[in-house]
Amino acid sequence: MAEITLAVLGDPSEPTLKRLSELGPGIRIKAGRSAEELLPELAEAQVLFNWFGGKEQVEAIMAAAPRLEWIHARYAGLDRLLFPALIESPIPLTNGTGVFSQSLGEFVILGALYFAKLVPRMNQSKAARHWDMFDVNEISKQTMGIIGHGDIGRAAAWRAKALGMRVLALRRNPAPRPGDEHVDRVYATADLHTMLPECDYVVVTAPLTPETNHMISTAEFAAMKSSTVVMNVGRGPVIDEVALVTALQSGQIRGAAIDVFEVEPLPQESPLWTMENVLISFHTADHTKDWLDDAATFFIDQFARWRKGEPLKNLVDKKAGY
């Protein structure tokens, strides 16, 4: 059997990459932080595992790798990777969709409970040693609307449904599919403004594409109830952050729980830092102790499928962007 050359765009000292030794015999592995570091092995490379590189490096690798048969991205979001040559190329692209979804689903439930049980007020009263008796909400009597009912959205939906919530979902194609058993109603994208007034929590899990950029902006916040909490565990620019700040400051919406932002790290001058009605995570809601190991495990399983000629999981529709 001919030797297979695997190019890994990533730091060769990354401990997790040592797990690639589990791929089996007959694999030549070359890791490098750039296309330049991967030369001259790229001439024979059949697989590219993009551990962390952006579109410029991947484009340079593709240009130098005429035998490339498959590209796998460690992460789920592809807005920083896709470029015209890759989109038009017949080379299949897969990603890490599903690997990190469960932890993000848990963050969504954290956000719901954080506001329903008035955790900020609890902490303030504790700090003041003030015996503060007040009413809280039961999330089992509330509605969660999920914008972008993909893998992350489904992870949030089944957790919300398990806690007795009414769950709504919005996606491009509202036709029935697996996962809908945890949803009370599915809306088409065009019906966004019909769904929003029903929601106590609006959870954004949509990928970033030209169509979803600033999908949630001034008009969408105006369509929400003043008691609505907005959460973003998808991609930062899907929410217009300026409009979000305005909606929070004016009381147009109740609060926000945010893991991803338009600019990362979040600039020091952002008003979000000091808002009491905002829960901030630092694009780390999926950073469990095993998150990198899980990403490596998924690739190793994918590689075994590719080597056997079996269908790959998570094939990306490159023109759609996810």
Which of the following CATH numbers is that of domain 101-280: 3.40.630.40, 3.20.20.100, 3.40.225.10, 3.40.50.720? 3.40.50.720
Backbone angles phi and psi of 166, in degrees to 5: -80, 130
Query: Mind listing the pLDDT tens digit for each residue in 6-58?
Result: 999 999 999 999 999 999 999 999 999 999 999 989 999 999 999 999 999 99
| Mean pLDDT value of segment 285-311 | 97
Mean pLDDT of the 209-214 span: 96
Entry pTM = 0.94
The CA distance from 230 to 241, in Å, is 12
Q: Do domains 4-98+289-308 and 101-280 have the same CATH topology?
A: yes
Inform me whether the pLDDT recorded for 1 exceeds 60: no
- How many residues are there in the chain? 322
Q: Stretch 256-273: mean pLDDT, rounded?
A: 98
Mean pLDDT over all residues of the chain? 97
How far apart, in whole angstroms, are the C-alpha atoms of residue 79 and residue 290? 24
- Please report, for residues 181, 191, 247, 254, 289, the alpha-carbon distance to residue 226 in angstroms, rounded to integers and kept in the order given: 29, 20, 9, 6, 37
Q: Specify the pairing of strand 45-50 against strand 27-32.
A: unpaired
Q: Say how far apart CA 277 and CA 257 lie, in whole Å.
A: 9
What are the helix (H) ranges across the chain? 35-38, 55-64, 84-88, 101-116, 119-127, 151-162, 192-195, 218-223, 241-250, 291-308
Q: Which residues contact 122 (CB under 8 A, 6 or more apart)?
A: 132
Provide the pLDDT confidence category of residue 282 given band limits of 50, 70 and 90.
Answer: very high
From residue 54, how far is each of 58, 100, 215, 235 by CA, in Å? 6, 20, 24, 16
Of 39, 22, 3, the closest CA to residue 30 belongs to 39
- 264 is annotated as an active-site residue: yes
pLDDT-derived band at 2 (thresholds 50, 70, 90) equals: confident
The residue whose two tokens read 């907005």 is 230
pLDDT band at 322 (very low <50, low <70, confident <90, very high): very high
Catalytic residue among 172, 264, 287, 310: 264
Name the active-site residue from 149, 235, 254, 262.
235
CA nearest 17: which of 32, 2, 3?
Answer: 32
> How much is the pLDDT for 129?
98
Q: Which of 19, 80, 214, 283 is catalytic?
A: 283
Q: How many CB atoms lie within 10 A of CB 153?
A: 29
pLDDT in tens, 142-184: 999 999 999 999 999 999 999 999 999 999 999 999 999 999 9
In sequence order, the 6+-apart residues with CB closer than 8 A to the CB of 19 are 293, 296, 297, 300
The CATH number of domain 4-98+289-308, selected from 3.40.50.720, 3.40.50.11900, 3.10.20.600, 3.30.420.40: 3.40.50.720
Identify whether the C-beta of residue 86 lies closer than 8 Å to the C-beta of residue 302.
no
Give the per-residue SS3 of 69-106. CEEEECCCCCCCCCCHHHHHCCCCEECCCCCCHHHHHH
The C-alpha atoms of residue 87 and residue 55 are separated, in whole angstroms, by 11
Residue 182 annotated in active site: no
Average pLDDT over residues 275-288: 97
**Overall average pLDDT of the 187-203 stretch:** 98
Is-catalytic flag, 283? yes
193 half-sphere exposure, CB direction, 13 A CA radius: 8
Q: Domain coordinates of the chain in residue numbers?
A: 4-98+289-308, 101-280
Find the angle CA(147)-CA(148)-CA(149) to the nearest 5 degrees: 105
